[in-house]
Amino acid sequence: MAALGSPLRTLRGLLRELRHASARAGRPYRDTPAYQHVMAAFRAHRVTSEKLCRAQQELHFQAATYLCLLRSVREHLALHHEYHGKGERSPREVAGLVGFRLPQQPGGKGWDP
Amino acid sequence: MNDLVTRGRATRASTPPRPPSVLIRSGNWGGNNLALTALFLFLPPERKRFYQNVSISQGEGGFEINLDHRKLKTPQAKLFTVPSEALAIAVATEWDSQKDTIKFYTMHLTTLCNTALDNPTQRNKVQLICAAVKFLETDTICYRVEEPPALAELQKNEWDPIVAWAENRYNVAIGSSTSITGPNIPASTKDTFISHLASYNMWALQGIEYVITQLKSLILSMGLIDRHITVEKAVLLSRLEEEYQIQRWGSVEWAHDYDLCELRARAAAGTLFVHLCSESSTVKHKLLQD
């Protein structure tokens, strides 16, 4: 069984991602079916003693997987916005991507009027 | 066929003009599938968000998604229905979290459901299983390098435990190899995996094959499906050589991190899809325990 850490941590992460997702659509996240489903599932499968509960483990794995999905999609989208699909870059931006700066000529270039 | 295409075009009146409708109809592209593929190749990757509210309703075939008052359809114009409520909620969340434009390349669960509903490659269960098991012959974690020694050792340390787990779990022989032809997988191993995969339903199998093609490894995928490793770990192991090179030469955000995020999202979506689609047995299991 994979090491997943504490379920509460997973739940917090999930709620954070759901908040991000519904902020994109501009509505309160507590009204979304996803929030209600996640909360209901976590409440229903709370264990009070330290027994190993296979069903809870399975649910926790599912929650962690969903968290990974939401987080990766958000990060992927952010990177996509940053670097892709914007057409051709200016020479200055291209130089910046690989850590260079275009040379500066204090008095203007020779052929400039 | 023409019917379908025209209907598809009529509902998409708001999208920017797409070029070669002539090509699509002339039949130069071969069968129906190709024409449809062509149709979707020319669709823009993003389109305007044309709906306000996303809701779920329960129909005869399962759970359906409603965008305002319209029912969501698959690319082949079938009604979009999924077997599990949790899956429907996750799909609805994908649609609801789109801002201004719909970004299809971020909606992995929707894509997987569409694939399962339309089955665009027209494969049956046996063909799917064969395609999945074929990956075992060229499984990423069975191919080892001899040099550089640091990478060889890293592969041994990281991959050997997973191979050992799979050999134990399925009671088979897998092994690893440094030769270009790969390891010799005994026929009994393949038979074991074939009969194991046969216990999954069509939907779950589509998901399993998707995860395998993403991770390039049957063993890592089964580790995920059996909940032995997390998605993060599986993706790390699948990209082990790349991670090694990154440690040595540095990471480039717009290539390495971009790939990493995309692979994680895809692997997580596939795994979740498999679990949600084969859940009915799990739920029974829980009830028995109570």
Q: How many residues does chain B have?
A: 290
pLDDT for the residue A1: 60
Range of the domain at B168: 125-277
pLDDT band at B282 (very low <50, low <70, confident <90, very high): very low
Answer positive or negative: Cα dihedral of B44, B45, B46, B50. positive
The Cα of A36 is separated from the nearest Cα of chain B by a number of Å equal to 10
Query: Between helices A33-44 and B85-96, what is the axis angle to 10°?
Result: 140
ipTM: 0.79
Name which of A4, A62, A77 is nearest B106 (Cβ-Cβ). Answer: A77
Token look-up 């599932």 returns A41
pLDDT band at B116 (very low <50, low <70, confident <90, very high): very high
| Residues forming beta bridges with residue B143, ordered by sequence position | B177
Domain with residue B204: its CATH number is: 1.10.3580.10
Average the pLDDT over each of A94-103, B29-38, B237-246 and give the range with the smallest value. Answer: B29-38
Choose from A22, A51, A72 for mutation: most chain B CBs within 10 A: A72
Hey, what are B23's tokens? 């090509």
Q: Domain check: are B169 and B250 in the same one?
A: yes
> Beta strand B54-58 with B81-82: parallel, antiparallel or unpaired?
unpaired
In this structure, what CATH number is given to the domain that contains residue B88?
3.30.2180.10
Euclidean distance between CA atoms B225 and B227, whole angstroms? 5
Contact check, Cβ <8 Å, B258/A57: no
Question: Greater confidence, B169 or A41?
Answer: B169
> Phi and psi of B69, rounded to 5°?
-105, 0
By a Cβ cutoff of 8 Å, what residues of chain B touch chain A?
Answer: 56, 85-86, 89-90, 92-93, 96-99, 103, 105-106, 108-109, 227-233, 253-254, 257-258, 261-262, 264-265, 268-269, 271-272, 275-276, 282, 285-286, 289
Q: What is the pTM of this model?
A: 0.80
Judged by DSSP in three states, A76 sits in helix
8 A C-beta contact, residue B208 and residue B272: no
Question: Which of B66, B91, B118 is at the close of a domain?
Answer: B118
Same domain, B133 and B263: yes
Interface test with A, best of B65, B162, B261 (most A CBs within 10 A): B261
**Whether B33 and B112 share a structural domain:** yes
Q: Do B271 and A65 touch (CB under 8 A)?
A: yes
Closest chain B CA to residue A38: B86
Q: What is the mean pLDDT of residues B280-290?
A: 44
Considering only CB atoms, B99 lies closest to which of A25, A65, A84, namely: A25
What phi and psi, each to the nearest 5 degrees, are found at residue B97? Answer: -90, 5
CB–CB contact A69 B257 (8 Å): no
pLDDT confidence tier of residue B43, bands split at 50, 70 and 90 = low
Query: What pLDDT, in 10s, does the model give residues B130-175?
Result: 999 998 988 999 989 988 899 999 999 999 999 999 999 999 999 8
Q: Based on the domain organization, do B130 and B107 belong to the same domain? A: no
3-state secondary structure A14-47: HHHHHHHHHHHHCCCHHHCHHHHHHHHHHHHCCC
What single letter denotes the amino acid at residue B251? S
Same domain as B137, residue B268: yes
Instruction: With CB atoms and an 8 Å threshold, state whether B90 touches A75.
Output: no
Q: Please tell me the number of Cα atoms within 13 Å of B19 on its side-chain side.
A: 5
Band of residue B88 on the pLDDT scale cut at 50, 70, 90: very high
Centroid of chain to Cα A34: 17
Does the residue B61 lie in any domain? Answer: yes
Instruction: For residues B104 and B217, state if they share a domain.
Output: no
Does residue B101 lie in a domain region?
Answer: yes
B143 and B225 assigned to the same domain? yes
**Stretch B56-75: mean pLDDT:** 90
How far apart are the C-alpha atoms of B73 and B118, rounded to whole Å?
10
Confidence of residue B44 (pLDDT cuts 50, 70, 90): low
Domain count, chain B: 2
Regarding whether B48 and B147 lie in a shared domain, the answer is no
Q: Decide if A79 and B228 are in contact by the 8 Å CB cutoff.
A: no
For chain B, what percent of residues have pLDDT higher than 70?
80
Residues B93 and B214 in one domain: no
Residues B220 and B106 in one domain: no
Q: Which residues contact B127 (CB under 8 A, 6 or more apart)?
A: none
In sequence order, what are the beta bridge partners of B48? B101
Do B113 and B134 sit in the same domain of this protein?
Answer: no
pLDDT score of B57 more than 50: yes
Closest CB from A21, A22, A76 relative to B265: A76
Instruction: Tell me the residues of A at the B interface, defined by beta carbons under 8 Å apart.
Output: 1-4, 18, 21-22, 24-27, 32-34, 37, 41, 53-55, 57-58, 61-62, 64-66, 68-69, 72-73, 75-77, 79-80, 82-84, 97
Please provide the average confidence, as pLDDT, over all residues in chain A: 81
Secondary structure string (H, E, C) spanning B99-141: CCEEEHHHCHHHHHHHHHHHCCCCCCHHHHHHHHHHHHHHCHH
Structural domain ending residue among the three candidates B77, B99, B118: B118
Query: Alpha-carbon distance A98 to B154, whole Å?
Result: 29
